[in-house]
Every structure is written in structure tokens, then in C-alpha cells.
């Protein structure tokens, strides 16, 4: 299945003049995960890198921690189903996403968490550093590689990088999905994240920050801005957040010690 629908006929107005043109739209797919024979969750996503998406989502929810816990994973893209079999039984009630948990983060800020967040959020202690010029370079490189965004205007991008280069990118209509695809690829390829950076096109909400924590990356570079709760969590969880990276300017919101002069 293609991730874009090309040749969609539109009427474009330039001032008061209507012009008949063809446009490109992003494809939106509802994907239902069946876990050990039971319906677990349905997400709306772009139909690309779906095995990565499912694997990363399950890891984010605390269902799996390593690739070895997956007995089978298959995608029926035409029907919109992902079939997952674990090598163990689980209690679905334990992963009830409708229940929220009020707890503390590292004994500091009192925040709202899903139960899965309490199980899977990590405090990052990596000593990796990066220069401002490297931050600008990685963001510019990701933007230049964002072909589908340039075609549709509504695609989020995330990239796993070293401080020198982009290793791979994932894109999706959902910013959380793009990060889950990154996480899934890390798990499926058994990659180390100690020396990695994530570059991201979307705003940094508390949910995005928690996903970065679960992945285990200590530096997040975003084109957009964070929320106050995201930065409180970033301070608690040891994550460096740099936002509003445009051209050769950026704001560093937390753990600035990882940003070092050229």
C-alpha cells in the first residue's frame, strides 16, 4: 500500500481565481493490534514500517522489552490488522490504558502517568555531548530528506542519529507513531542508544518526552517547542531538550551540559 494518494483533484484559489489542479494526500490507515488472539489497541497511522510501529508501540506500553519476547509478528495491511503472539501469556487488565496513575518522577515533580509509563520510563545518565553546529546540521539534513512532508504538508518525521549523521528516518501522520517506528527499529535491529540522538519535527509534549525516555536516548532535537510539563519531566529524567531549531538558532530547555561549544 502506498503512503500517498497522488492525483487527487482539487480547486486551488490564487486570489479570486479558481484553478483546477491535482494534489498529493497522505494515506491514513486504521491498524488494529491483536495480541495473543485478543484485540489490544487500534491506532491510526501511515502504512509504512508497520512492523517497527507495532514493535515500538508494544515496547512503549511495557508489553515487551526485547525482540526475544515476540514469538510471531505479521501484518495484514489490506484488512488493517497486526497479529502478535508473545512467548508468554499476559493479563489484559494489567495493561488497561483507560486507567491513569498519579505518581512521582524520580521523587521530584508529581505528574500524571499511565501505568505503563511508571513501568517503562527511564532516567537517562548517558554522558554523550553534541555541538550547536551538529544540532543545526542534523535538523537541516532531516528537513532536506523529508520528501513526503514536502509532497503532503502533513507528515511528521523522526530520525535516529549519531552526533555526526542520520542513521535512519521514519515518518507518519502521527508524531507519536513516528517515534514508535524509531523505537521498533531499534528493538528489531538490537541497536544501542547510548551514543544516539533523536531529531524530531513535532512539538515536544509530555507524551513525546516520555517516549524518548522509554527509548533511552538522552538528547532530543526538535524543530518545534516543548510544553512546560515536558521540560519538568526532561529535568527529572535526565534528558536534554533543544527546540525551535531553525537555521542556526535554537533554545536549550533542559540539561544544557550536553550541548558543548564547537
Q: Return the closest-CA partner of residue 64 out of 119, 123, 124.
A: 119
pLDDT score of 102: 37
For residue 107, pLDDT over 50 is answered with: no
CA–CA distance, 229 with 226 (Å, rounded to integer) = 8
The confidence score (pLDDT) of residue 249 equals 93
**44 and 140 fall within a common domain:** no
Assess whether pLDDT exceeds 90 at residue 86.
yes
pLDDT in tens, 41-70: 999 999 999 999 999 999 998 899 999 999
Residue 245 marked ligand-binding: yes
Domain end (from 66, 99, 120):
120
The whole-model pTM stands at 0.88
Average pLDDT over residues 209-236: 94
Within-domain flag for 224? yes
Residue 125, annotated ligand binder?
Answer: no
Q: Domain containing 66 — which CATH number?
A: 3.10.20.10
Confidence band for 97, pLDDT divided at 50, 70 and 90: low
Domain final position from 62, 93, 120 = 120
Give the DSSP per-residue string, 6-74.
EEEEEEEEETTEEEEEEEEEE--EEEEEEETTEEEEEEEE-SSSHHHHHHHHHHHTTS-SSGGGEEEEE
Q: Is the pLDDT of residue 112 over 50?
A: no
Q: Is 247 annotated as a binding residue?
A: yes
The reply to whether 207 sits in an annotated binding site is no
Neighbours of 229 (CB within 10 A): 15
Contact present, 179 and 211 (Cβ < 8 Å): yes
pLDDT score of 148 more than 50:
yes
Residues 58 and 183 sit within 8 Å (Cβ to Cβ):
no
Higher pLDDT, 102 or 193: 193
The reply to whether 140 and 114 lie within a common domain is no
Query: 27 or 134, which is more confident?
Result: 134
CATH no. for residue 196?
A: 3.40.140.10
Active site residues: 106
Place of cell 507524551: 207
Percentage of the chain lying above the pLDDT 90 cut: 67
* Counted domains in the chain: 2
Domain annotation covers residue 151: yes
Q: What is the model's pLDDT at position 68? A: 95
> Average pLDDT for residues 149-160, to the nearest whole number?
86
Domain hosting 172: range is 132-258
Amino acid at each position: 500500500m502506498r503512503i500517498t494518494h497522488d492525483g487527487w483533484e482539487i480547486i486551488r484559489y490564487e486570489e479570486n481565481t479558481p484553478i483546477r489542479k491535482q494534489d498529493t494526500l497522505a494515506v491514513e490507515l486504521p491498524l488494529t493490534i491483536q495480541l495473543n488472539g485478543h484485540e489490544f489497541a487500534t491506532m491510526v497511522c501511515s502504512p509504512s514500517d508497520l512492523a517497527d510501529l507495532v514493535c515500538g508501540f508494544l515496547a512503549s506500553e511495557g508489553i515487551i522489552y526485547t525482540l526475544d519476547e515476540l514469538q510471531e509478528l505479521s501484518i495484514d495491511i489490506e484488512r488493517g490488522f497486526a497479529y502478535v503472539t508473545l512467548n508468554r501469556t499476559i493479563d489484559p487488565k494489567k495493561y488497561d490504558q483507560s486507567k491513569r496513575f498519579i505518581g512521582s518522577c524520580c521523587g521530584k515533580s508529581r505528574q500524571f502517568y499511565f501505568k505503563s509509563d511508571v513501568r517503562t520510563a527511564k532516567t537517562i545518565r548517558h554522558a554523550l555531548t553534541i555541538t550547536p553546529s551538529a544540532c543545526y546540521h542534523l535538523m537541516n539534513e532531516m528537513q532536506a530528506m523529508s520528501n513526503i512532508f514536502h509532497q503532503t504538508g502533513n507528515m511528521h518525521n523522526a530520525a535516529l542519529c549519531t552526533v555526526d549523521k542520520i542513521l535512519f528516518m521514519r515518518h507518519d501522520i502521527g508524531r507519536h507513531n513516528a517515534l514508535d517506528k524509531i523505537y521498533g527499529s531499534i528493538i528489531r535491529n538490537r541497536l544501542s542508544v547510548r551514543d544516539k540522538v533523536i531529531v524530531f519535527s513535532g512539538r515536544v509534549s509530555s507524551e513525546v518526552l516520555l517516549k524518548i525516555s522509554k527509548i533511552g536516548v538522552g538528547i532530543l532535537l526538535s524543530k518545534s517547542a516543548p510544553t512546560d510539563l515536558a521540560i519538568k519531566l526532561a529535568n527529572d529524567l535526565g534528558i536534554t531538550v533543544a527546540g525551535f531549531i531553525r537555521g542556526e538558532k535554537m533554545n536549550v530547555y533542559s540539561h544544557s551540559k550536553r550541548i558543548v561549544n564547537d
